[in-house]
């Protein structure tokens, strides 16, 4: 187990396979703080150079708002305070551009609206983040939902490293729901998801794309590491809810993806077919090494593992097979799927 964990720590998900959001949502706090700090200093310099000529108050407000949106209301208030201090040092206690005599009223009229803007921006950012994550998270299991996975999948076209794409199907969920009710079924799904998350890393992709279907996409060092990780993942999934009165078993179709072009949608269909084969065998792991090429996927080194040792599956005379994108519906015409 120690060596397996060491293998996994050598690889991370490609930067291209990450959540795509706008600049104002994905900028790091460090970069944001630098922008705010440098922006306020440059604004103060401009204020000093153009005293009684230009009013640079709106420029201060831009960086105050940027701080509130990207860093939070506390940092927005801090930026406001810094701007006031600089303004007073440069212009005296009477705020420009009018230099009114009623200084107290001048402050009372100008500062509260700025603080209201800070509060509104920080609240709006928090609300946007909450809704964005809710729209991409399965509410029952906490895993990514189907929308989020395919949103991520659409961002990757090529990879320089090896990956494992595992398509898992829980066998027996319908029987559990019928026998003990949907509450027990939901509890089993939660337990399964929690167990899988403990078996993978924080950066790995874990998604629920159907009632009893899950996907895991993770980076590995090489093909051998992919085989090790896929076997460990299959074991973890089958031990997740083994103590239930109606234990759930898990059929897994896994692709070890070689470096090169990526078509996650097509690779997912291949993993789905492998999962179907594993389901026909009975909570097995059907695994193959795959390499993308124009027009299809070449698979080699196929394995089917049940309770015993992994053994090569039938791969044809050349030890390779071609997949050109047929869906599970095509397979269903000749291989009726066994009920869960």
Pair 197, 298 in one domain: yes
Question: Tokens 């927005």 correspond to what residue?
Answer: 76
Sign for the CA dihedral angle at 191, 192, 193, 196 comes to positive
Q: Which of 99, 134, 169 is the last residue of a domain?
A: 134
Please state whether 186 falls in left (phi above 0), alpha (psi between -120 and 50) or beta.
alpha
Question: Residue 336 gets which letter from DSSP?
Answer: P
Pair 77, 203 in one domain: no
Which contacts of 301-307 are long-range, i.e. CB under 8 A and separated by 24 or more positions?
Answer: 301/223, 303/227, 304/277, 304/278, 305/231, 305/234, 306/281, 306/282
Per-residue model confidence (pLDDT) at position 115: 96
Pair 173, 261 in one domain: yes
- Cβ neighbours around 65 below 10 Å, total: 20
Per-residue model confidence (pLDDT) at position 254: 94
How do residues 92-116 score in pLDDT, each as one tens digit? 765 555 555 666 777 788 889 999 9
Pair 263, 325 in one domain: yes
**φ, ψ dihedrals at 188, nearest 5°:** -65, -40
Pair 97, 173 in one domain: no
Number of domains in the chain: 2
Q: Which stretches of the chain score pLDDT less than 50?
A: 1-10, 14-18, 307-340
Helices (H), the chain: 2-8, 23-26, 29-49, 57-70, 73-91, 103-134, 146-153, 173-180, 182-199, 223-239, 264-281, 328-332
Q: Decide if 111 is inside a domain.
A: yes
Pair 239, 313 in one domain: yes
The residue range of the domain holding 69 is 23-134
Per-residue model confidence (pLDDT) at position 93: 64
Q: Decide if 17 is inside a domain.
A: no
Per-residue model confidence (pLDDT) at position 105: 75
Per-residue model confidence (pLDDT) at position 97: 55
How do residues 251-265 score in pLDDT, each as one tens digit? 999 999 999 888 888
Q: Decide if 298 is inside a domain.
A: yes
Per-residue model confidence (pLDDT) at position 337: 45
Pair 212, 83 in one domain: no
Q: Decide if 248 is inside a domain.
A: yes
Per-residue model confidence (pLDDT) at position 88: 84
């Amino acid at each position: 187990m120690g060596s397996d964990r060491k293998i996994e720590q050598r690889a991370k998900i490609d930067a291209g396979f990450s959540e795509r959001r706008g600049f104002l949502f994905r900028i790091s706090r460090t970069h944001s703080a630098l922008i705010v700090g440098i922006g306020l200093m440059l604004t103060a310099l401009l204020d000093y150079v153009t005293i009684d000529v230009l009013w640079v108050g709106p420029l201060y407000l831009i960086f105050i708002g940027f701080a509130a949106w990207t860093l939070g209301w506390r940092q927005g208030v801090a930026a406001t305070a810094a701007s006031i201090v600089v303004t007073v040092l440069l212009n005296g206690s009477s705020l420009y551009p009018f230099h009114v005599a009623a200084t107290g009223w001048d402050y009372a009229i100008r500062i509260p609206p700025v603080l209201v803007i800070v509060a509104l921006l920080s609240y709006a950012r928090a609300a946007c983040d909450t809704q964005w994550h809710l729209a991409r998270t399965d509410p029952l299991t906490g895993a990514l939902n189907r929308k989020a996975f395919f949103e991520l999948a659409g961002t990757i076209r090529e990879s320089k490293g090896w990956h494992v794409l595992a398509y898992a199907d829980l066998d027996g969920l319908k029987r559990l729901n019928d026998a003990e009710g949907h509450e027990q079924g939901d509890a089993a799904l939660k337990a399964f998801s929690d167990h899988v998350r403990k078996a993978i890393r924080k950066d790995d992709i874990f998604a629920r794309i159907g009632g009893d279907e899950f996907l895991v996409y993770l980076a590995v060092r090489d093909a051998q590491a992919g085989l090790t990780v896929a076997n460990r993942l299959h074991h973890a999934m089958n031990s997740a809810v083994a103590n239930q009165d109606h234990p759930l078993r898990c059929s897994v179709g896994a692709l070890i993806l070689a470096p090169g072009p990526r078509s996650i949608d097509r690779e997912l269909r291949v993993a789905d077919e492998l999962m179907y084969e594993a389901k026909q065998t009975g909570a097995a792991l059907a695994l193959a090494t795959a390499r993308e090429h124009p027009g299809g996927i070449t698979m080699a080194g196929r394995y089917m593992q049940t309770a015993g040792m992994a053994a090569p599956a039938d791969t044809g005379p050349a030890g390779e097979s071609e997949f050109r994108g047929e869906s599970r519906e095509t397979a269903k015409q000749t291989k009726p799927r066994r009920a869960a």
